[in-house]
């Protein structure tokens, strides 16, 4: 998810080391056709086109020079000096539903916690998010179906928006990055809760951890809303335990096994424990976050070091809004 400064005009064990390659998963993939994720991509692209149409750069000249890609006429981009991501002005994003703390808390515009997920700050921002969504989301939808992945995507994006609103008060924020990080978090928790059915699980875990660390590390640069990334990741991580749990090895084949080898429970004990803990933490986290937000609580007052999770100042850049 990107933040823009307010006022300025992202049937056996698994046979390979990858996160989602094993025989039973391949059978499930044949049962599910991924259509929701491509539909989300189409929706985000359509919304971005609408953003640029409403923005109408040629009709609103500003101090930053001429519009970029003027051959696009009404849908041309704001000057690169104003928006290097090739997109609309921050005022247009705010008009269309960008996340802005004051409007959510003091003007009762809680709907912005949802609409901000569908907006993007620029063409570069849109392409980066949509390519990532196609790469990660289609595979998940093929395995778990559109209902679970749809819930996971929307609630992760919502969770990212809530944390962003609590801790990022002086900027507006847009983008699907929180939802994308939720998918990454769910991949990690799915591996953990279904640990016993996988082979090469240590390699898969290490690969996922490296990918997640790199992406969260990128969020430490200025003008990137890492709070949305973290909130989305945590939401998706907990949702993965709840939504992506799989029966233990041998359960689906129990009728083909001799009585002495049959398993008697769908899930292992540790899976039940993780499911309950994750559900309770998820409910508590969303409830606490929403209560704090609509009471106007500034999250930074309770966490004086949290701003370093969003941007680390160096000699090369400042983190001031």
Give catalytic residues, as residue numbers.
177, 229
Ordered alpha helix ranges (H), 145-200: 146-167, 177-193
The residue ranges of DSSP E strands in the chain, in sequence order, are 2-5, 171-174
Helix (H), strand (E) at residue 91: helix 90-96
CA distance 72 to 272: 55
Task: List own/partner pairs for 193-197 with CB under 8 A and 24 or more apart.
Answer: 193/240, 193/241, 193/244, 193/245, 193/246, 193/271, 193/274, 193/275, 194/244, 194/245, 194/246, 194/271, 196/248, 196/249, 196/268, 197/13, 197/14, 197/22, 197/24, 197/246, 197/248, 197/249
Q: CA gyration radius for the chain?
A: 22
CA distance 10 to 51: 17
Asked if residue 210 lies in contact with residue 158, where contact means CB atoms within 8 angstroms, the answer is no
- DSSP three-state, residue 130: helix
CA distance 209 to 127: 24
């Amino acid at each position: 998810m990107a933040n823009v400064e307010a006022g300025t005009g992202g049937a056996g064990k698994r046979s390979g080391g990858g996160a989602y390659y094993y025989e039973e998963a391949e059978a499930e993939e044949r049962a599910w056709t991924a259509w929701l994720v491509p539909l989300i991509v189409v929706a985000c692209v359509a919304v971005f086109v609408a953003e640029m149409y409403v923005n109408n750069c040629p009709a609103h000249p500003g101090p930053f020079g001429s519009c970029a890609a003027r051959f696009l006429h009404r849908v041309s981009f704001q000057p690169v000096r104003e928006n290097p991501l090739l997109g609309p002005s921050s005022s247009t994003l705010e008009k269309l539903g960008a996340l802005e703390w004051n409007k959510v808390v003091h003007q009762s515009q809680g709907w912005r916690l949802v609409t901000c997920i569908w907006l993007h700050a620029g063409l570069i921002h849109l392409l980066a998010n949509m390519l990532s969504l196609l790469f990660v989301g289609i595979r998940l939808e093929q395995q778990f179906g559109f209902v679970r992945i749809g819930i996971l995507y929307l609630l992760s994006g919502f969770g990212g928006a809530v944390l962003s609103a609590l801790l990022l008060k002086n900027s507006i924020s847009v983008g699907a990055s929180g939802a994308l990080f939720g998918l990454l978090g769910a991949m990690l928790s799915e591996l953990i809760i279904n640990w016993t059915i996988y082979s090469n699980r240590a390699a898969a875990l290490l690969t996922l951890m490296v990918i997640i660390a790199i992406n969260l590390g990128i969020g430490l640069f200025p003008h990137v809303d890492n709070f949305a990334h973290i909130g989305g990741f945590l939401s998706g991580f907990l949702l993965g335990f709840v939504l992506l749990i799989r029966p233990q090895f041998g359960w689906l084949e129990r009728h083909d096994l001799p009585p002495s080898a049959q398993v008697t429970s769908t899930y292992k004990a540790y899976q039940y424990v993780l499911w309950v803990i994750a559900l309770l933490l998820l409910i508590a986290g969303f409830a606490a976050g929403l209560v704090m937000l609509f009471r106007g609580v500034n999250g930074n007052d309770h966490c004086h070091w949290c701003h370093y999770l969003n941007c680390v100042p160096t000699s090369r850049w400042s983190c001031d809004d």
